[in-house]
Amino acid sequence: MQALILAGGKGTRLRPLTVYTPKPVVPFCNRAFLLYQIEILRKAGITDITLSLSYQPDKIEHVLGNGSEYGVNLRFITEPAPLGTGGAYRFAADGIEETTVVFNGDILTDFDIGRFVERHKQLGSVATLALKPVENPSAYGLVETDSESRILGFLEKPTDDQIEKLKINTINAGIYVLEPAILDLMPLGENRSFEYDVFPEILKRGMPFYAGIMKEEYWRDIGTPASYLAAHQDFLRGAIKGFEVESSDLSDVATKATIDSRSIIGEGCVIKPGARITNSVIGPGVQIEEKAIVEDSVLWAHSRISTAAEIRGSIIGRSCHIGRNAVVDQGSVLGDKSTLTDYTRV
């Protein structure tokens, strides 16, 4: 058993956070994001993992290394040009000799991969898709199944009338179990999409094609700043199961600083008297001065929040400087090395 993580996108929806940091290794609760996918694969007994890269591949390899630190073996391949989700799978084919779990690289989930693979094998499927029920599927593509979870069809960007008529709300969750037999459906070196090319062809040929439908499991695409921030809030309130991230005890926190029990504080931080941190993630080496307030926010490494500044519901990139009495309000996103002068409000 092996896995392929599709991590070649430029992360344009997540900018400005991905200008200097590739999306697969943006910090999530102070760990590179892909480590969460790697961890759930390892828990399922899958330790041979290939990462398909395109944008800033050297940075990703530098952060993740060979995987030995995480109990897995990581292999990196770099697409010569964007090949699409299916094309990337085909490009990695020289290392695909068995059943493979495929992950879209921007999915955060606590889905039980082991049980998902077991179901795939029991059904004798050539491809099994994880599906997630959502409240408003109109922004996604609907996947229709029968009573035995056979996949019947796909409907991209459905209208309200179509959703009501079909009475389904399950979308493609970006997690697949695939057999090497489907490689024959994808010419080597051509841009192919699983969603638009490969999966419709499987249906057309009548090959065994099933779904595994998530129930209470957590799932989120973290590909936009709003979703990335919301995923942090979900993690802090305990909505994502199976992962543990604790605050470092190697930070200098003043006795008169106030930090709630949910917040995560990275290593090497300095938090001065009167500072207040609530429901937030503070990256390594951040300095928070006297009477500064940080609420419902994510601060990347080595930023400085000056005296009496206020950060609420925002994301602050790496090595930023927020001036005295400045206010960064709900929904703000500051890229790396941003500077706000004293008394600025955004």
pLDDT more than 90, % of the chain: 60
CA 289 to each of CA 44, 254, 313, 341, 344: distance values in angstroms, whole numbers, following the listed order: 44, 10, 19, 15, 16
Tell me the pLDDT of the chain averaged across its residues: 89
Would you call 170 helix, strand, or coil by DSSP? strand
State phi, psi for 139 to the nearest 5 degrees.
-85, -5
| pLDDT above 80 for 94 | no
Nearest residue to 4 via CA among 78, 84, 75, 108:
75
What are the structural domain ranges in the chain? 2-236, 252-340
Distance CA 219, CA 132 (A): 8
pLDDT in tens, 253-263: 888 999 999 99
pLDDT of residue 95: 62
Q: State the residue for tokens 């699983």.
A: 194
Q: What is the DSSP letter of 242?
A: S
pLDDT at 97: 74
Angstrom distances, CA of residue 139 to CA of 1, 38, 165, 198: 33, 28, 17, 21
List, for residues 186-235, the tens digit of each pLDDT value: 877 778 888 888 888 898 899 999 998 898 899 999 989 999 999 999 99
- For 143-181, what is each residue's pLDDT tens digit? 888 888 899 888 776 677 766 776 778 888 889 999 988
Contact (Cβ atoms closer than 8 angstroms) between residue 21 and residue 34: no
Q: Quick one: pLDDT band at residue 245, thresholds 50, 70, 90?
A: confident
Q: Is the pLDDT of residue 47 over 80?
A: yes
Q: How many CB atoms lie within 10 A of CB 310?
A: 20
Assess contact for 54 and 24: CB atoms under 8 A. no
User: Can you give the pLDDT at residue 158?
Assistant: 67
Confidence tier at 74 by pLDDT (50, 70, 90): very high
Nearest alpha-carbon partner for 280 in 29, 43, 45, 58 = 29
3-state secondary structure of 33: coil
45-49 contacts at long range (C-beta below 8 A, 24 or more positions apart): 45/1, 45/114, 46/1, 46/2, 46/3, 46/72, 46/101, 46/113, 47/71, 47/72, 47/73, 48/1, 48/2, 48/3, 48/72, 48/73, 48/75, 49/2, 49/3, 49/4, 49/5, 49/73, 49/74, 49/75
CATH topology of domain 2-236: Spore Coat Polysaccharide Biosynthesis Protein SpsA; Chain A (3.90.550)
Please say whether the dihedral angle defined by the alpha carbons of residues 96, 101, 102 and 106, taken in this order, is positive or negative. Answer: negative
Q: Report, as residue numbers or ranges, the catalytic residues.
A: 157
Give pLDDT, residue 82: 77
The answer to whether the bond into 16 is cis (omega within 30° of 0) is yes
Cross-strand pairs, 154: 143
pTM above 0.85, yes or no: yes
Is 9 or 293 the better-scoring residue by pLDDT?
293
- CATH class, 252-340 region: mainly beta
Q: What pLDDT does residue 341 have?
A: 95
Q: Is residue 85 helix, strand or coil?
A: helix
